């Protein structure tokens, strides 16, 4: 054998031995790995079964919870749908109620004119009758009739106010204004009334400024003071203010009959009077505090009541503080009731109600006036032409069915006889807004029913002011 061939075979055998040794080693490693895999499989068999069981249980629970959630979702959807339907019905009912309130208010506003017309005529007839009688007994009867008519007037006005406040059609104008003029005016007007009844009344001045509707706040204070006077038989009444953080507490305290704790909320109900009024001849109509409550809610204020039966009561209205240094024009106040002779004056009266015409004619003629009375401006002008006179005074109803608004009638007469002729507007609508508008035109204003004494004083005042111009 060639030595080279033999050497190559030796090398090949050596390599083969090495490969066989490596194969044996690999087989051992493979066996160990297989054993480990099998053991792992045997070990995981129970866990896998448990996991399988758990998975089945969880799937069942998930299915049940999903079904419950679906049922709950359907229930919630149904409840949401029903709630939306209820809310829609509530909105409709609310809108209908608001519309009914507005309709009621419009009806009362319209009816108040017709209701006040005969009442106005009755008071004017009564005034003319008072001019003709001289007996003490007859005068006493006239005064009692006048008081009864005044009560009817107060009731009609209060009912109209209640209706307007409930319908929230009362105009609200919030502004900052000082309390000092308001308190001074209340003191001037109510102190004589209190003193006439033997009561001491003190109004504490204040430099505070508040922010709310000035006219409505004054209405609240007037009603509270009137109520205090009515239910205080003896003692005193105190009106004042306290600074309370960002608010001012306007307070009216009295030493009257007081209110039991369980009845304090009842006093704000309509026509609610708790009795024991020490002034049996001044029972009121039971709407003053009901109006206070509505105004307070309209203005988003608060009112608190403290009372001690037999010792007195205290009403406190919380009002926001105003801007310091703020000022605003004062509310138009009624002119002073000065009287002077109307004899010889030519008075034009444009009123379309026959009863009012029949009542005004003898009243004005009894005061010595020359009268031109008609339902329209044209009719009044024709009468003046027949008299050959020019008017000294104009009296017009605010609402004329056939002749248009009273202010238009005054404009027509002013165009013919001159704008310097003073004019008085008489209206069933006694709202402060209308009164302010009429006064802004430079005319006088009186609400129906017209008291003869006020009519005479107002006409005298207008003549006096006209002479100054």
Domains of the chain: 174-320 (3.30.565.10), 346-468 (3.40.50.2300)
Distance CA 73, CA 67 (A): 10
Residue 252 pLDDT greater than 80, yes or no: yes
pLDDT tens digit sequence for 91-141: 888 777 767 766 666 666 666 656 666 776 777 777 777 767 777 777 777
Task: Place 255 in a pLDDT band, splitting at 50, 70 and 90.
Answer: very high
What average pLDDT does this structure show over 163-167? 69
Percent of the chain with pLDDT over 70: 70
What average pLDDT does this structure show over 218-222? 91
What average pLDDT does this structure show over 212-225? 91
Residue 20 pLDDT greater than 70, yes or no: no
CB 268 within 8 A of CB 162: no
Residue 287 pLDDT greater than 70, yes or no: yes
Residue 212 pLDDT greater than 90, yes or no: yes
Q: Which residues make Cβ contacts (< 8 Å) with residue 176, sequence separation at least 6?
A: 209, 210, 211, 322, 323, 326, 328
pLDDT tens digit sequence for 394-438: 998 887 654 455 688 889 899 999 889 999 988 877 777 778 888
Instruction: Look at residue 315 in the predicted model and tell me its pLDDT.
Output: 94
pLDDT tens digit sequence for 27-53: 676 666 666 655 655 555 555 555 555
Residue 12 pLDDT greater than 60, yes or no: no
**How buried is 234 (Cβ within 10 angstroms: 0-12 exposed, 13-18 middle, 19+ buried)?**
exposed
Angle formed by the axes of helices 406-417 and 377-387, nearest 10°: 30
Instruction: Look at residue 275 in the predicted model and tell me its pLDDT.
Output: 57
Instruction: Look at residue 339 in the predicted model and tell me its pLDDT.
Output: 43
Task: Place 242 in a pLDDT band, splitting at 50, 70 and 90.
Answer: very high
CB 294 within 8 A of CB 162: yes
What average pLDDT does this structure show over 319-337? 62
Closest-CA residue to 186 (of 259, 242, 234, 251) = 251
Percent of the chain with pLDDT over 90: 16
Phi-psi domain of 271 (left: phi exceeds 0; alpha: psi -120 through 50; beta: other): left
Residue, of 211 and 2, whose pLDDT is higher: 211
* Tokens representing residue 17 in the block: 């031995």
pLDDT, the chain, mean = 77
Instruction: Look at residue 248 in the predicted model and tell me its pLDDT.
Output: 94
Task: Place 317 in a pLDDT band, splitting at 50, 70 and 90.
Answer: very high
Instruction: Look at residue 336 in the predicted model and tell me its pLDDT.
Output: 45
pLDDT tens digit sequence for 305-315: 998 888 899 99
CB 312 within 8 A of CB 253: yes
Residue 208, classed as helix, strand or coil, is: coil
pLDDT tens digit sequence for 54-105: 556 666 666 676 777 777 778 778 888 888 888 888 888 877 776 776 666 6
Distance CA 102, CA 303 (A): 27
* Tokens representing residue 455 in the block: 């009519």
Taking the CA atoms of 388, 394, 400 and 404 in sequence, report the sign of the dihedral they define: positive
Task: Place 334 in a pLDDT band, splitting at 50, 70 and 90.
Answer: very low
Instruction: Look at residue 271 in the predicted model and tell me its pLDDT.
Output: 62
CB 359 within 8 A of CB 450: no
**What is the radius of gyration, based on Cα positions, of the chain?**
45
Instruction: Look at residue 362 in the predicted model and tell me its pLDDT.
Output: 83
Q: Give the residue carrying structure tokens 């001159």.
A: 418
Write phi, then psi, for 305 (nearest 5 degrees). -125, 130
Query: pTM (2 decimals)?
Result: 0.55
Cis peptide, bond prior to residue 449, ω within 30 of zero: yes
Instruction: Look at residue 236 in the predicted model and tell me its pLDDT.
Output: 93
Distance CA 214, CA 176 (A): 8
Instruction: Look at residue 335 in the predicted model and tell me its pLDDT.
Output: 46
């Amino acid at each position: 054998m060639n030595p080279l061939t033999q050497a190559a075979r030796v090398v090949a055998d050596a390599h083969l031995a090495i490969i066989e040794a490596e194969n044996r080693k690999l087989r051992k490693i493979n066996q160990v790995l297989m054993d480990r895999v099998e053991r792992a499989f045997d070990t995981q068999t129970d866990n896998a079964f448990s996991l399988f069981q758990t998975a089945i249980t969880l799937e069942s629970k998930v299915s049940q919870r999903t079904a419950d959630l679906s049922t709950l979702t359907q229930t919630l959807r149904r409840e949401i749908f029903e709630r939306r339907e209820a809310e829609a019905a509530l909105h409709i009912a609310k809108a209908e109620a608001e519309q009914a309130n507005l309709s009621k208010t419009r009806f009362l506003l319209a009816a108040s004119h017709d209701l006040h017309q005969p009442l106005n005529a009755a008071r004017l007839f009564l005034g003319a009758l008072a001019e003709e009688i001289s007996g003490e007994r007859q005068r006493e009867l006239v005064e009692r009739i006048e008081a009864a008519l005044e009560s009817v007037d107060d009731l009609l006005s209060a009912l109209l106010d209640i209706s307007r406040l409930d319908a929230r059609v009362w105009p609200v104008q919030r502004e900052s204004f000082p309390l000092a003029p308001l308190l001074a005016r209340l003191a001037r007007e109510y102190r004589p009334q209190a003193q006439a009844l033997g009561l001491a009344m003190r109004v504490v001045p204040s430099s505070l400024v508040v922010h709310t509707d000035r006219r409505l706040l004054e209405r609240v204070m007037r009603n509270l003071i009137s109520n205090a006077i009515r239910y205080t038989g003896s003692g005193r009444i105190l009106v004042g203010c306290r600074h309370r953080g960002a608010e001012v507490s306007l307070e009216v305290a009295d030493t009257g009959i007081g209110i039991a704790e369980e009845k304090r909320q009842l006093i704000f109900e309509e026509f609610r009077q708790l009795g024991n009024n020490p002034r049996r001849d001044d029972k009121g109509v039971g709407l003053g505090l009901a109006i206070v409550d509505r105004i307070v809610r309209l203005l988003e204020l608060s009112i608190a009541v403290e009372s001690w039966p037999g010792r007195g009561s205290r009403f406190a209205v919380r009002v926001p503080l105003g801007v310091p240094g703020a000022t605003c024009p004062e509310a138009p106040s009624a002119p002073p009731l000065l009287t002077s002779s109307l004899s010889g004056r030519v008075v034009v009266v444009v009123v379309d109600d026959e009863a009012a015409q029949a009542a005004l004619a003898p009243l004005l003629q009894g005061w010595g006036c020359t009268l031109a009375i008609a339902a329209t401006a044209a009719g009044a002008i024709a009468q003046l032409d027949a008299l050959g006179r020019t008017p000294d005074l104009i009296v017009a109803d605010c609402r004329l069915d056939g002749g248009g608004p009273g202010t238009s009638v005054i404009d027509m007469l002013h165009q013919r006889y001159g704008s310097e002729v003073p004019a008085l507007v008489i209206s069933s609508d006694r709202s402060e807004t209308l009164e302010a508008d009429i006064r802004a035109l430079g005319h006088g204003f009186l609400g129906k029913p017209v008291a003869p004494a006020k009519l005479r004083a107002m006409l005298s005042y207008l003549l006096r002011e006209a002479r100054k111009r």
